Amino acid sequence: MKVAISLKLVADILTTIRFFTGLYIIRFATLDVPESVASASLLLWLAWVTDLIDGPISRLDPRKTQSWIGKHDLTADVTVAFGCWLFMTFSGFVSTFVGVGYLLLSVFLLWYFKSEHLAWGLQAPPYAGMIWIALTKSPTHGFLLVAWIIFVVLVTWPRFPKYTLPEFLNGMKALFKSR
Protein backbone atom coordinates (compact mmCIF):
# COMPACT_ATOMS: atom_id res chain seq x y z
CA MET A 1 0.00 0.00 0.00
CA LYS A 2 1.45 3.33 -1.07
CA VAL A 3 0.81 6.35 1.12
CA ALA A 4 1.35 9.75 -0.40
CA ILE A 5 1.57 12.87 1.69
CA SER A 6 0.95 16.04 -0.24
CA LEU A 7 3.52 18.77 0.01
CA LYS A 8 0.71 21.18 0.89
CA LEU A 9 -0.05 19.03 3.93
CA VAL A 10 3.62 19.09 4.99
CA ALA A 11 3.67 22.89 4.63
CA ASP A 12 0.41 23.19 6.57
CA ILE A 13 1.82 21.03 9.37
CA LEU A 14 4.90 23.26 9.57
CA THR A 15 2.73 26.39 9.70
CA THR A 16 0.56 24.82 12.41
CA ILE A 17 3.66 23.89 14.40
CA ARG A 18 4.78 27.53 14.14
CA PHE A 19 1.41 28.77 15.42
CA PHE A 20 1.47 26.50 18.49
CA THR A 21 5.17 27.20 19.07
CA GLY A 22 4.28 30.88 19.40
CA LEU A 23 1.78 30.06 22.10
CA TYR A 24 4.13 27.64 23.85
CA ILE A 25 6.90 30.26 24.12
CA ILE A 26 4.76 32.02 26.73
CA ARG A 27 5.10 29.02 29.06
CA PHE A 28 8.80 29.66 29.56
CA ALA A 29 8.10 32.89 31.42
CA THR A 30 7.60 30.70 34.50
CA LEU A 31 11.18 29.35 34.48
CA ASP A 32 14.37 30.89 35.85
CA VAL A 33 15.96 33.42 33.53
CA PRO A 34 18.88 31.58 31.90
CA GLU A 35 16.82 28.47 31.19
CA SER A 36 13.73 30.39 30.15
CA VAL A 37 15.59 32.59 27.69
CA ALA A 38 17.43 29.62 26.21
CA SER A 39 14.23 27.61 25.79
CA ALA A 40 12.20 30.50 24.40
CA SER A 41 15.03 31.39 22.00
CA LEU A 42 15.25 27.82 20.72
CA LEU A 43 11.52 27.76 20.11
CA LEU A 44 11.71 31.11 18.33
CA TRP A 45 14.47 29.70 16.14
CA LEU A 46 12.34 26.61 15.42
CA ALA A 47 9.44 28.86 14.44
CA TRP A 48 11.72 30.82 12.12
CA VAL A 49 12.97 27.58 10.52
CA THR A 50 9.42 26.45 9.81
CA ASP A 51 8.65 29.90 8.40
CA LEU A 52 11.55 29.69 5.98
CA ILE A 53 10.68 26.25 4.63
CA ASP A 54 6.88 26.04 4.64
CA GLY A 55 6.39 28.38 1.68
CA PRO A 56 8.90 26.72 -0.67
CA ILE A 57 7.54 23.28 0.25
CA SER A 58 3.99 24.43 -0.46
CA ARG A 59 4.99 25.88 -3.84
CA LEU A 60 6.53 22.52 -4.84
CA ASP A 61 3.10 20.88 -4.65
CA PRO A 62 1.79 20.35 -8.20
CA ARG A 63 -1.64 21.60 -7.17
CA LYS A 64 -1.36 25.36 -7.28
CA THR A 65 -4.04 26.00 -4.70
CA GLN A 66 -3.69 27.67 -1.34
CA SER A 67 -5.05 25.91 1.73
CA TRP A 68 -6.89 27.59 4.58
CA ILE A 69 -3.78 27.24 6.74
CA GLY A 70 -1.62 28.66 3.95
CA LYS A 71 -3.91 31.69 3.75
CA HIS A 72 -3.36 32.21 7.48
CA ASP A 73 0.43 31.91 7.44
CA LEU A 74 0.77 35.48 8.67
CA THR A 75 -1.44 34.61 11.65
CA ALA A 76 1.12 31.99 12.66
CA ASP A 77 3.92 34.56 12.29
CA VAL A 78 2.10 37.14 14.39
CA THR A 79 1.31 34.50 17.02
CA VAL A 80 5.03 33.80 17.40
CA ALA A 81 5.74 37.52 17.86
CA PHE A 82 2.80 37.74 20.30
CA GLY A 83 4.20 34.78 22.25
CA CYS A 84 7.64 36.41 22.42
CA TRP A 85 6.13 39.69 23.62
CA LEU A 86 4.12 37.96 26.34
CA PHE A 87 7.19 35.93 27.35
CA MET A 88 9.17 39.16 27.75
CA THR A 89 6.33 40.83 29.66
CA PHE A 90 5.57 37.92 32.00
CA SER A 91 9.31 37.37 32.61
CA GLY A 92 9.73 41.00 33.63
CA PHE A 93 11.98 42.02 30.73
CA VAL A 94 9.27 44.43 29.61
CA SER A 95 7.14 46.32 32.14
CA THR A 96 3.51 45.30 32.37
CA PHE A 97 2.46 48.81 31.32
CA VAL A 98 4.61 48.73 28.18
CA GLY A 99 3.74 45.09 27.46
CA VAL A 100 -0.01 45.56 27.66
CA GLY A 101 0.21 48.95 25.96
CA TYR A 102 2.07 47.55 22.96
CA LEU A 103 -0.38 44.66 22.64
CA LEU A 104 -3.42 46.94 22.80
CA LEU A 105 -1.88 49.40 20.34
CA SER A 106 -0.98 46.54 17.97
CA VAL A 107 -4.47 45.07 18.10
CA PHE A 108 -6.02 48.49 17.47
CA LEU A 109 -3.69 49.30 14.55
CA LEU A 110 -4.27 45.90 12.93
CA TRP A 111 -8.02 46.26 13.36
CA TYR A 112 -8.05 49.82 12.02
CA PHE A 113 -5.69 49.43 9.07
CA LYS A 114 -6.19 45.72 8.26
CA SER A 115 -2.72 45.68 6.71
CA GLU A 116 -0.50 42.65 6.34
CA HIS A 117 2.48 44.96 5.92
CA LEU A 118 1.74 46.56 9.27
CA ALA A 119 1.55 43.06 10.77
CA TRP A 120 5.03 42.42 9.34
CA GLY A 121 6.34 45.58 11.00
CA LEU A 122 4.67 44.94 14.35
CA GLN A 123 6.64 41.69 14.64
CA ALA A 124 9.95 43.58 14.73
CA PRO A 125 9.88 44.88 18.35
CA PRO A 126 9.16 41.45 19.92
CA TYR A 127 11.85 39.81 17.79
CA ALA A 128 14.38 42.56 18.45
CA GLY A 129 13.62 42.29 22.16
CA MET A 130 14.05 38.52 22.15
CA ILE A 131 17.36 38.80 20.31
CA TRP A 132 18.64 41.44 22.72
CA ILE A 133 17.55 39.46 25.78
CA ALA A 134 19.07 36.27 24.39
CA LEU A 135 22.35 38.03 23.60
CA THR A 136 22.57 39.36 27.16
CA LYS A 137 21.15 36.40 29.14
CA SER A 138 22.02 33.39 26.97
CA PRO A 139 24.61 34.57 24.43
CA THR A 140 24.88 31.26 22.59
CA HIS A 141 21.17 31.36 21.82
CA GLY A 142 21.33 35.05 20.98
CA PHE A 143 24.07 34.39 18.45
CA LEU A 144 22.00 31.52 17.04
CA LEU A 145 19.13 33.93 16.38
CA VAL A 146 21.41 36.54 14.80
CA ALA A 147 23.18 33.89 12.70
CA TRP A 148 19.82 32.57 11.52
CA ILE A 149 18.70 36.02 10.38
CA ILE A 150 21.98 36.49 8.49
CA PHE A 151 21.58 33.03 6.95
CA VAL A 152 18.00 33.75 5.84
CA VAL A 153 18.95 37.09 4.31
CA LEU A 154 21.82 35.44 2.41
CA VAL A 155 19.71 32.49 1.24
CA THR A 156 16.85 34.71 0.15
CA TRP A 157 19.10 37.55 -1.01
CA PRO A 158 17.95 37.90 -4.58
CA ARG A 159 14.34 37.96 -3.41
CA PHE A 160 14.82 40.08 -0.27
CA PRO A 161 16.07 43.38 -1.78
CA LYS A 162 14.10 43.04 -5.04
CA TYR A 163 10.71 41.98 -3.71
CA THR A 164 10.30 41.58 0.04
CA LEU A 165 11.76 44.89 1.23
CA PRO A 166 10.13 47.01 -1.52
CA GLU A 167 6.78 45.25 -0.94
CA PHE A 168 6.97 46.05 2.77
CA LEU A 169 8.01 49.68 2.23
CA ASN A 170 5.38 50.26 -0.48
CA GLY A 171 2.74 48.62 1.71
CA MET A 172 3.61 50.92 4.59
CA LYS A 173 3.59 53.99 2.30
CA ALA A 174 0.17 52.99 0.96
CA LEU A 175 -1.05 52.46 4.50
CA PHE A 176 -0.40 56.07 5.44
CA LYS A 177 -1.67 57.45 2.13
CA SER A 178 -4.97 55.58 2.47
CA ARG A 179 -5.99 57.21 5.76
Q: What backbone torsions phi and psi does residue 95 show, to the nearest 5 degrees? A: -65, 155
Q: In sequence order, what are the residues at sequence separation of 6 or more whose Cβ sits closer than 8 angstroms to the Cβ of residue 49?
A: 148
CA-angle at 162, arms to 55 and 166, nearest 5°:
90
* Sequential pLDDT tens for the chain (179 residues): 455 578 999 999 999 999 999 999 999 998 888 889 999 999 999 999 999 999 999 999 888 889 999 999 999 999 999 999 999 999 999 999 999 999 999 999 999 999 999 999 999 999 999 999 999 999 999 999 999 999 999 999 998 889 999 999 999 999 888 76
Enumerate domains of the chain plus CATH numbers.
7-177 (1.20.120)
Nearest to 45 by CA among 7, 84, 10, 12: 84
Query: How far from each other are the two terminal CA atoms of the chain, in whole angstroms?
Result: 58
Q: What is the CA radius of gyration of the chain?
A: 17
